[in-house]
């Protein structure tokens, strides 16, 4: 990765991986075929209430009865039950249709979710030029104050609209106790980034990339403490202990539980044997994934795997990416999302070897934010969205799969991420990150179509 404002030059070992070692149809696909537990709420609630697990439905109220009459009625019922010896009788007061039917069958009520919406974006990568820009915008340059909110102000309303939103925090939030804030090659990002991600509407943050060990162990532990102070953010990929690593990270929405797993191909400048453990930054291995997915399935209804790897600047997934995706599909993982290569890569359905299920795989979401100048491919990314919908047979289907092209727009000392569907030719011509192009907007559209192609069951929002 290049210094902010410069064309990135692939490092000799930057794309190195452990490869040697290591349609339902357009309307949707069954996510896993597993039975899911009873949902607890309707899927129609406002997003903030759905996140907090609260129901917006008003409580049912019966007719207003004087307290003394109520007490007398209860006493009569109690005496009658004792007289009949019917201590096992159950009943429901003021039951609605669902509750009444369930109580007659001796079962709990089963409200049905109308689906959980999900989105994911790629690498949140803080190069030096972005640090300088944000530093200047918040207070005065050099005062140590960084407010990253402006980077996400245009995309924030979209992110907030999903029940679960995922982002990869590529660069470590490592504090300035030993090192100053820095961009490439050894990144160190201010703690206020956690505030910005939370404010932008993200729920799940990956903290496992090839840059996790950039400034070593103390920075990793510091980052864990920073995110621990943001309970609304669930982090995956970097853990405090082996026991912590083996505890699935589960996010629940509308009675559907989502488990998130994360793997990285390796760490820049280090062999796996150089690292203190395999839980500060989880490396990929098929054996580890086998055990992790088994635990995740026991704890959740949907399993999502994030993979960090691939050949940098290549729009086609490499052998390592396909190997990880196929193994995840063979384990009947529901969704695989990937990034690392800085550019977009296709979305595909990958069939399990036993041909019983398919896994939705987004190989490369690209750089969500990076600030790269003179390298347009790195500032055009994608947001994958879909809906997890309960089916009558108890399975969960993935429906409404959409690829939303994103563009990073830099103009007059400000940088922000925008949906291409909201972008215009005039804006594209003013984007300093696309300077020198005759038709920058046309390039965005043509490049996206060239890379993404036409995958059955995947729509394009452009």
Domains of the chain: 29-39+113-460 (3.60.21.10), 67-104 (no CATH)
**Residues 185 and 268: beta-carbon distance below 8 Å:** yes
Which element (helix H / strand E) includes 80? helix 67-84
pLDDT given for residue 264 in this prediction: 98
The rounded distance, in Å, linking the Cα atoms of 414 and 82 is 76
Among 60-64, 68-72, 225-229, the minimum mean pLDDT is found in 60-64
> What are the Cα distances from residue 435, in Å, to 5, 369, 370, 375, 440?
12, 17, 16, 10, 8
pLDDT given for residue 143 in this prediction: 82
Write phi, then psi, for 116 (nearest 5 degrees): -115, 125
Q: Specify the higher pLDDT residue, 70 or 32.
A: 32
Q: Which residues pair with 380 in a beta bridge?
A: 407
Residue-wise pLDDT for 200-244, tens only, equals 999 999 999 999 999 999 999 999 999 999 999 999 999 999 999
Q: Which residues of 371-401 are buried (b: 16+ CB within 10 A; e: fewer)?
A: bbbebbbbbbbbbbbbbbbbeeeebbbbbbb
Residue-wise pLDDT for 96-149, tens only, equals 333 333 333 444 434 457 899 999 999 999 999 999 999 988 777 778 889 999
- List the structure tokens of 185: 């090659």
**Residues 391 and 420: beta-carbon distance below 8 Å:** no
Q: What angle do CA 415, 233, 297 make, to 5 degrees?
A: 125
For the cut 80, the answer to whether the pLDDT of residue 257 exceeds it is yes
Q: Across the chain, what does the average pLDDT equal?
A: 83
pLDDT given for residue 13 in this prediction: 41
CA 58, chain centre distance (Å): 31
3-state secondary structure of 72: helix
For the cut 90, the answer to whether the pLDDT of residue 60 exceeds it is no
Which value, in Å, is the radius of gyration of the alpha carbons in the chain? Answer: 25
pLDDT given for residue 29 in this prediction: 52
pLDDT (mean) for 160-167:
98
3-state secondary structure of 271: coil
Residues of the chain with pLDDT > 90, as a percent, come to 73
In which band, very low, low, confident or very high, does the pLDDT at 32 lie, cut at 50, 70 and 90?
Answer: low
The rounded distance, in Å, linking the Cα atoms of 384 and 49 is 23
Neighbours of 259 (CB within 10 A): 24
Say which residues have a Cβ less than 8 Å from residue 402's Cβ, sequence separation at least 6: 384, 385, 386, 458, 459, 460, 461
pLDDT given for residue 377 in this prediction: 98
């Amino acid at each position: 990765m290049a210094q902010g404002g410069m064309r990135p030059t692939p490092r000799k070992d930057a794309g190195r991986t452990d490869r040697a070692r290591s349609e339902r149809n357009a309307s949707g696909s069954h996510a896993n075929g597993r039975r899911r537990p009873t949902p607890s709420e309707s899927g129609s609630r406002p997003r903030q209430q759905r996140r907090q697990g609260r129901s917006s439905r008003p409580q049912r109220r019966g007719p207003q009865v004087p307290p003394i009459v109520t007490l007398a009625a209860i006493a009569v019922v109690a005496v009658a039950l004792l007289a009949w010896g019917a201590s096992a009788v159950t009943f429901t007061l003021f039951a609605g249709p669902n509750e009444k039917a369930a109580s007659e069958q001796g079962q709990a009520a089963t409200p049905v979710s109308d689906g959980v919406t999900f989105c994911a974006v790629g690498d949140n990568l803080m190069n030096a030029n972005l640090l300088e820009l944000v530093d200047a915008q918040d207070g005065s340059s050099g005062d140590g104050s960084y407010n990253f909110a402006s980077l996400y102000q245009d995309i924030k309303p979209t992110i907030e609209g999903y029940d679960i939103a995922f982002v990869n925090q590529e660069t470590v939030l490592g504090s300035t106790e030993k090192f100053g804030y820095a961009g490439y090659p050894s990144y160190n990002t201010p703690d206020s980034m956690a505030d910005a991600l939370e404010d932008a509407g993200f729920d799940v943050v990956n903290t496992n990339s090839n840059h996790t060990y950039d400034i070593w162990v103390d920075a990793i532990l510091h980052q864990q403490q920073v995110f621990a102070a943001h309970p609304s953010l669930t982090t995956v990929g970097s853990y405090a202990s082996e026991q912590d690593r083996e505890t699935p990270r589960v996010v629940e929405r509308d009675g559907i539980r989502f488990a998130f797993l994360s793997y990285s191909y390796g760490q820049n400048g280090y062999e796996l044997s150089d690292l203190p453990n395999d839980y500060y930054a989880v490396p990929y291995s098929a054996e580890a994934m086998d055990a992790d997915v088994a635990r995740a399935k026991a704890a959740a209804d949907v399993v999502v795997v994030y993979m960090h790897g691939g050949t940098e600047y290549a729009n086609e997934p490499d052998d390592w990416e396909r190997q990880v995706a196929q193994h995840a599909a063979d384990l009947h993982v529901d969704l695989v999302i990937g990034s690392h290569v800085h550019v977009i890569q296709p979305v595909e359905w990958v069939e399990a070897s036993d041909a019983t299920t398919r896994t939705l795989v987004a190989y490369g979401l690209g750089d969500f934010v990076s600030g790269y100048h003179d390298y347009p491919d790195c500032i055009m990314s994608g947001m994958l969205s879909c809906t997890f919908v309960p089916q009558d047979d108890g399975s969960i289907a993935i429906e409404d799969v959409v690829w939303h092209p994103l563009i990073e727009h830099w103009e007059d000392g400000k940088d922000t991420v925008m949906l291409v569907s909201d972008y215009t030719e005039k804006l594209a011509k003013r984007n300093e990150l696309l300077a020198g192009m005759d038709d920058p907007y046309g390039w965005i559209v043509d490049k996206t179509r060239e890379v993404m192609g036409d995958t059955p069951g995947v729509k394009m929002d452009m």
